[in-house]
Structure 1
């Protein structure tokens, strides 16, 4: 079996969230979807499970966060072209998503962040292939 990641997100309305992710280009896998959950496929390796709060709660004894007021994770999608970053941000805005961090062009890196209707944050990034191969520029390096 190939390695995959299933990102599980608690949502208040599975149908609304499924429509949002479909508008961004995710494809729904009906084999793993029902009224409690929707499996939204980004790639062969990245799948997002949208779980209603009651179903999500069966997997954890922890309190489910309100992602509109509390950050639990920052998820990041990478893109091959700047235009792809622009397109997913436009799709997120058109599908009633928020844009807490607009797209910034830093030369070697291009991206921003959008939120789904429940407030889950998705970062976006395109990196110059030459810069990515060389590592971050000296001014972007972080001291350990």
Structure 2
């Protein structure tokens, strides 16, 4: 099996606030798939995206209640190039409306830190060095 790309769909309350938050973290959007009901957050162009969708539109895709941001439905982990990039992204998230739900962890071969975005979705930002994995 070979997956061509992945789209993680998440409900959001306020698209303008969501766009501002992710833009301040240095991310961009695929405007071709963005409108007044959804934003297509580019995580790795051509491969990984997150569709940030208004509750109104999101409810068309499921027959279950939509999370209100107070429960954990999914943890989205993104890998970056360095420990410094982990710290930079989490710092920006916390400065721009994100909240901390867990402290950073350093296991030698993997380092990660976490934040919840303004809608309560939980994100883990990590850096790993496979050469440091204990044998």
Task: Tell me the TM-score normalized by structure 2.
Answer: 0.91
Q: Which residue of 1 aligns with 2:39?
A: 38
Equivalent-residue separation in structure 2 for 1:24 and 1:46 (angstroms): 17
Write out per-residue CA displacement over residues 20-55 of structure 1, whole angstroms, 9 at most, x where no aligned residue.
111222211111111111111011211111100000
**Cα contact 1:25–1:42 (8 A) shared by 2:** no
Q: How many residues align?
A: 133
Q: Which residue of 1 aligns with 2:15?
A: 14
Deviation at residue 4 of structure 1 after TM alignment: 0.8
**Cα contact 1:101–1:113 (8 A) shared by 2:** yes
Say yes or no: does 1:60 pair with 2:62. yes
Where structure 2 has 5 or more consecutive residues not aligned to the other structure, the ranges are none
Where structure 1 has 5 or more consecutive residues not aligned to the other structure, the ranges are 139-144
**Cα contact 2:110–2:128 (8 A) shared by 1:** yes
Task: Tell me the TM-score normalized by structure 1.
Answer: 0.86
**1:1-144 superposed matches below 5 A:** 3-44=4-45, 45-67=47-69, 69-132=70-133, 137=134
**Cα contact 2:10–2:52 (8 A) shared by 1:** yes
Equivalent-residue separation in structure 1 for 2:35 and 2:129 (angstroms): 40
